[in-house]
Amino acid sequence: MGFREYLKKIDEAGYLQNVDAEVSKTLEISGILKEIEPTPVIFNNVKESEFRVAGNLFCSKEVVASYFGVPSTDLIPMLTKAISEPSEPEIEPNAPCQEVIESNVDLDKLPILFHCEKDGGNYISSAVVITRDPDYGQNMDFHRAMQFSKDKFSTRIVSGRHFHQFLKRNIELDVAFCIGNTPNVLIAGATSVDIGIDELHIANALEPIKLVKAKSVDLLIPAEAEFVLEGRVFLEEKHAEGPFVDLTETYDVIREEPVFEVKKITHRINAIWQALLPGALEHKLLMGMPREPTIFKKVNETGVKCLDVNVNPGGCSWLHAIVQIDKNSEEDGKKAIEGAFAGHTSCKHVFIVDKDIDIYNPLSVEWAMATRFQGDVRMIIKDKEPGSSLDPSAEPGTKMTTKIGFDLTKPLTVKGKSFEIAEFPKVDINKYFKGKD
């Protein structure tokens, strides 16, 4: 399903809020989206632009699962399969994303949002970035981009990303920043797979997509995207980037980052811009969800039966993982901790729980910690390891951090008090309160 079709579907079902009043791309649309998060919204009358803006579209696992027409429990197996069995998308000669071709680039005409007061500029935050290396082929990932002129951005390229590796090898790269995408493309763009695997093939395995050749660069791009900004990124031409809100909801610092020069803009007729609030639920979901299958796999590889994984928003959907296991031996908790850290190296705290704990309910997880955990014997501390550059508490510049695994599982042999939650009798409540209204 394309972005358009999805918006139509949720509009008809009454989920999409329409804002017809005039709204500004500067400090207004972002405020409205944040205020009513996770409700999806379309802004039909943007003050500074002829284009509409839609946001808060994929803020929860339930919404993503319903997009794919599966229960939420199927997401980890589905993503695992798509990563291990990527498939080549069809290529078509003409595509909706090229209905309008604009060679006279003026970024001010686009509804590029200014999100929060201390931001360094208008930011694109929802674009998947497609590029190509002569040896490795195409790569797709995310890079936020701060507008600083009518045709230029500075774009944040974290060291080590495949895009960064491509850029170091080639010094300059053709790129396509594609905006207005559905979860198959968005989730695939957020996966970290082996270099040389085109994440568009993962997107196609999640749900078939069509690609088209970009107009001015030698790249294959999603045919159904709403906007495509074609151009070139330069390793050695830098510009200040930031401040901007990070995944952690705190401000990132200002850095000198590579310049992205836009040479051509293509878009659909009446194109709709996709907003994605930095640090908010949708950003978190897209970051955390692709790590769940890798944690699931690595925990199972330790010989422990993993039942489910939640890289939860309370842990910024990046720094914490809650792992549910079917415990069969006293060592399972600790083995699962090792597996989870191997499956997500940026993770700082891992919580291992039994199958009676609801990993989507923070109260349930905290209850397991309160009643089943003893710090002297059930905790693994990994002093000063490389963690996440996103963590404000990690050592500045080096990202060194202390990782801790908490085994919150109950012992298999109970010596003292019971670890089970007492059950109250089940009653038919309607029998007692009938006729009250």
CB of 402 to ligand FMN, least distance (A): 23
Distance of CA 41 to the CA centre of its chain: 19
Neighbouring CB atoms inside 10 A of 93's CB total 7
CB of 339 to ligand FMN, least distance (A): 21
Q: Is 254 exposed, middle or buried (0-12, 13-18, 19+ CB in 10 A)?
A: middle
Q: Which is nearer to ligand FMN, 345 or 402 (CB)?
A: 345
Q: Indicate the helix (H) or strand (E) that contains 264.
A: strand 255-267
CA–CA separation, 273 and 43 (whole Å): 10
* DSSP states of 387-416: --TT-TTSPTTT-EEEEEEEE-PPPSS--S
Q: Which is nearer to ligand FMN, 288 or 405 (CB)?
A: 288
Residue located via tokens 């197996």: 77
∠ CA(305), CA(306), CA(307), 5° rounding?
115
CB of 320 to ligand FMN, least distance (A): 17
Q: Which is nearer to ligand FMN, 281 or 359 (CB)?
A: 281
Q: Which one from 133, 246, 252, 391 is the annotated catalytic residue?
A: 246
Q: Which is nearer to ligand FMN, 46 or 187 (CB)?
A: 187
CB of 345 to ligand FMN, least distance (A): 12
CA–CA separation, 175 and 229 (whole Å): 8
CB of 32 to ligand FMN, least distance (A): 19
By the criterion CB under 6 A, which residues form the site for ligand FMN?
139, 141-144, 156-158, 161-162, 190-192, 276, 283, 286-287
Phi, psi for residue 381 in degrees, rounded to 5: -110, 125
Q: Which is nearer to ligand FMN, 274 or 324 (CB)?
A: 274
CA–CA separation, 298 and 65 (whole Å): 23
Is residue 151 among the annotated active site residues?
Answer: no
Annotated catalytic sites, by residue?
Answer: 246
